[in-house]
Amino acid sequence: MSESTIDESTRGLEVVAADARPTADASVAADAPASRQAPGARPVLTDLEPGQQLFIRTYAVDRDLLVRYAGASGDFNPIHYNDRFAREVGLPGVIAHGMATMGLAGSAVVDWAGDPGAVMDYGVRFTRPIEVPDPGHAEVEVIGTVGAVDLAASSVRVDLKVTSGGASVLAKAQAVVRLD
C-alpha cells in the first residue's frame, strides 16, 4: 500500500493521488499506478497506446471553492451559493459552476502533460450538475485515457471520464495534447 499524497496548496481544492483509494471500510487501498510516467517527467508520445490509462485525479469541491471561482469568473449566480434560491429554481441545492468542473478536468490534463501550452484543443459537454453540500464537499473524479495517438502530428487525444457521486458530469470530454 502506498501513501496518499494530497496537495492542499489552495484552500478548498484537494488533489488525491491515483494510487490511493478509499475502500468500503474507510481504509485506503493502493491501485496500480495509472501511468509508467515518472513523477515530474513529461510524457513520451511513443510510449502511449490507445486505451492506456494515464491518470486518475480526485478533487474535493466545497463551498469555499465556489466562492473563489465566482470571484475569479464574475459568475455570481445565486444557484452557486444560496441553497434556498437553488431549490426555488428546481435544483437539489447549490451546484458547482460547470466551467469550474471543466477547469478541474482540464487541470488534470495539464498536470499530466507538464506544460499548459501543450494542450492544443479541449472540449466537453455538460451532462449533470454537481451538488455541493454545506458542510462538506462533493468529490469529482477525473480519469484520463489515451483515445488516439497521432505520430505525424506529434499529438495524443486524451479521453476523460469525469464523475461525481458515481454519475457522469461531463461527456465527450477530450483534450488534444502535443508531445515533442
Its pTM stands at: 0.80
Q: Label residue 90 left, alpha or beta by phi (over 0 means left) and psi (-120 to 50 means alpha).
A: left
pLDDT the model gives residue 180: 86
pLDDT the model gives residue 34: 54
| Residue 31 included in any domain | no
CATH of the domain at 100: 3.10.129.10
**Tens-place pLDDT, residues 47-61:** 999 999 999 999 999
**Tens-place pLDDT, residues 105-134:** 999 999 999 999 999 999 999 999 999 999
| Residue 33 included in any domain | no
CA distances from 21 to 5, 31, 36, 56, 161 (A): 11, 7, 19, 10, 17
Mean pLDDT calculated for residue range 7-31: 37
- How many structural domains does the chain have? 1
Can you point out the beta strands (E) in the chain? 6-7, 15-16, 20-22, 28-30, 53-61, 119-126, 138-150, 155-164, 167-178
Residue 3 has pLDDT above 90, yes or no: no
